[in-house]
Homo-oligomer: A and B are copies of this chain.
């Protein structure tokens, strides 16, 4: 017996992917298209975040995991529940009402929003949902209040990136210091001195040099590193350094 959905509670996932080749921070969106029965004209045709309503027997985190698995095939992704969107009018514009009716959920749905971090190339974009990557600064027309949700997710990501080791989640397991710096520069929108950045990062005990270098590059290949979450958690002393 299939579990029932809770018609007024959903989860939406802002999936951030970092494309290391183009140095672009992207968001994964799916198309929302609704055509009338007798015509080919789409009454709704835009993009939205992947989301779904919570089932009666699920926690909110489980809903998020289910949605992510469905879209990407992946488990154990880094995710953060960063805000709740519960404005009574958030789904009250015409297209959203039509959509809610066609999908049988309440247009007084509150959504619990997560953001997810991964490297773009781990996602199979040939899934049945036909997801597409868009640079976070060049988004298409978005349905519901998803423009706002993405903006808030990005603001939260910028803030967290400064104090938590989450940028590693956007890179492959093996990365160069340059890759890491590029990721920071793209996310924060700033330039960083490469000498100071390098010195600072390679002295961290949880950033570990591998016995391996880049292959297939036409110039001096660079050293590969990995991030050790274990080491990080061990040496993470709560420093109690007040920094206001």
Residues of A near any B CB (own CB < 8 A):
6, 8-9, 54, 56-60, 81, 83-84, 86-88, 108, 110, 112, 161-165, 184, 188, 190, 192, 197, 200, 204, 240-244
Contact = CB atoms under 8 A, between A and B. Distances in A.
Given A6-B8, A84-B81, A108-B6, A240 B190 contact: yes
**A110, A112, A241 interface centre (most CB from chain B within 10 Å):** A110
B81 A81 contact: no
B81 A59 contact: no
Contact of A86 (B60, B83, B87, B108): B60
Contacts of A81: 83-84
Contacts of A9: 8-9, 86, 110
A60 B192 CA distance: 39
B165 A244 contact: yes
Contact of A56 (B87, B108, B200, B204): B108
A184 B228 CA distance: 32
A200 B6 contact: no
Nearest to A242: B162
Contacts of A57: 88
A162 B112 contact: no
A200 to B, nearest CB: 7
A228 to B, nearest CB: 13
Given A9-B86, A192-B240, 14 more contacts: A8-B9, A9-B9, A54-B110, A56-B108, A58-B88, A59-B88, A81-B84, A84-B84, A162-B240, A162-B241, A162-B243, A165-B244, A188-B240, A243-B243
